[in-house]
Copies of this chain bind each other. A is one copy, B any other.
Amino acid sequence: MMNTEEQILAAARKVFINKGFDGARMQEIADEAGINKALLHYYFRTKEKLFERIFSESFQLIKPVFNLALGPEPDLHQFIRQFVNAYHALLKQMPFLPQFVLQELNRNPGRMIGLIGKQQIPMNDIKRVIDAEVKKGNISAVSPENLIVNLISLIIFPFVARPVLQEVVFGGDDAAFDNFLNGRSESIIQFFLLALSPEKS
């Protein structure tokens, strides 16, 4: 059984992620948790503090992790395949997290400080790997920055823009969009590797 603090966090998670900081109401969180509103303040003092707790865990959850497979002989193709599959699967579990985090970050970029740590993306390592692969003739030339942004864009954007995309590309068909998402991971990988493959006509 969940204790009170856990109940509050679960309710806060739900409400904050749905409504954002500005749209969330302490009363709604209390109702969702089935407890008295005063308990929110007893356990977390202020709305801001409670929010920070939820935002922090959310950010850590979906912050893309690039610490994979950067040993001496890294396989870029394998890396891309694994990363896309893993990250896409994660987002399917929590489809609203990206929109939530991006929204709050746009509203207040300062929220990021302290949350990134040294987990920064090792751009130099990645650049080294890509340059090596280009030199070996395994891939066509791309700037590492664009490569990484492309990768992340293709994975995340459909989750952020689901309402418009579903309406405008899939005629509002909910099941059709779910179906699209199911094949999406494979499609991204294929598209990406095609774009990277060398020796074009």
Q: Chain A: residues with CB nearer than 8 A to chain B?
A: 19-20, 22-23, 63, 96, 99, 101-103, 105-107, 109, 112, 116, 120-121, 123, 140, 142-143, 145-146, 148-150, 152-154, 156-158, 160-165, 167-171, 180, 183-184, 187-188, 191-192, 194-201
Contact = CB atoms under 8 A, between A and B. Distances in A.
B195 A146 contact: no
**Assembly stoichiometry (copies):** 2
A171 B22 contact: no
A184 to B, nearest CB: 7
A102 B99 contact: yes
Given A152-B157, A152-B161, A120 B168 contact: yes
A171 B161 CA distance: 27
B194 A107 contact: no
Given A23-B107, A99-B102, A99-B106, A170 B145 contact: yes
Leading 4 A-B pairs by shortest Cβ distance:
A195-B195, A153-B157, A22-B22, A22-B23
Given A153-B157, A158-B153, A163 B106 contact: yes
Given A153-B157, A163-B106, A163-B109, A197 B191 contact: no
B156 A157 contact: yes
Contacts of A191: 142, 146, 150, 195
